[in-house]
Structure 1
Amino acid sequence: MTHPTFTFDTLKDILREGAGADPDTLTDTLLDTTFEDLGFESLALLETLSRIERQYDIALDDTALTGTATPRALITLVNEQLSGAAA
């Protein structure tokens, strides 16, 4: 059974909608740059996580905010949740 995949492009869209990010400045070369270094505050990340949960009908635990310091880590976490939800 296939499950939806959470991509960097999807994350950029959600960051644009929820945190006012300019998607043109978010390139795949920044996947391992911390959200803090990218200029995202914790409130912007909370809004981002909330949008991901609603859009993909998953529940991210508290470590999603503290344990996913980079876009790559967040994408990995969401995809792990999606594959677990589909199982």
Structure 2
Amino acid sequence: MTATEFTLTDLKRILREGAGADESVDLDGDIDDISFENLGYESLALLETGTRIEREYGITLQDSDLAVTRTPRALIGDVNALLHRDPQGALRD
């Protein structure tokens, strides 16, 4: 799949499909700046999420980047930065 934008809606779908959702967390709320830890997603769940994003969007996320990504907003920014680069690493127009 060649996507041009990764959104919060995309991330929520992938989180639910891959790791499920803690019943005490409302993923439909304003979660952009809530830490993944507070949302109930530990490192293993984030690695699974990263793998699903890579497969679906045709990008490569570094495990070390996922380990330091703390919020949905940060992960969305990382994914979009990769989507907007060509295979040689240059930014696309």
**What TM-score do you get using the length of structure 1 for normalisation?**
0.85
Q: Which amino acid aligns with 1:61?
A: Q
Note the alpha carbon deviations across 1:3-48, whole angstroms, 9 max, x for none.
Answer: 52000000000000001126x8113521111100111111111100
Preserved CA contact (<8 Å) 1:34 1:69:
yes
Q: How far, CA to CA, are the matches of 1:53 and 1:36 in structure 2?
A: 21
Structure 2 residue runs without a partner (length 5+): none
Structure 1 residue runs without a partner (length 5+): none
Counterpart in the other structure of 2:15: 15
Task: Look at both structures and tell me which one has the larger radius of gyration over its CA atoms.
Answer: 2
**What TM-score do you get using the length of structure 2 for normalisation?**
0.80
How many residues end up aligned between the 2 structures?
84
The 5 A counterparts of 1:20-35 are 20-21=20-21, 25-27=26-28, 29-35=30-36
User: Percent of pairs identical after alignment?
Assistant: 55
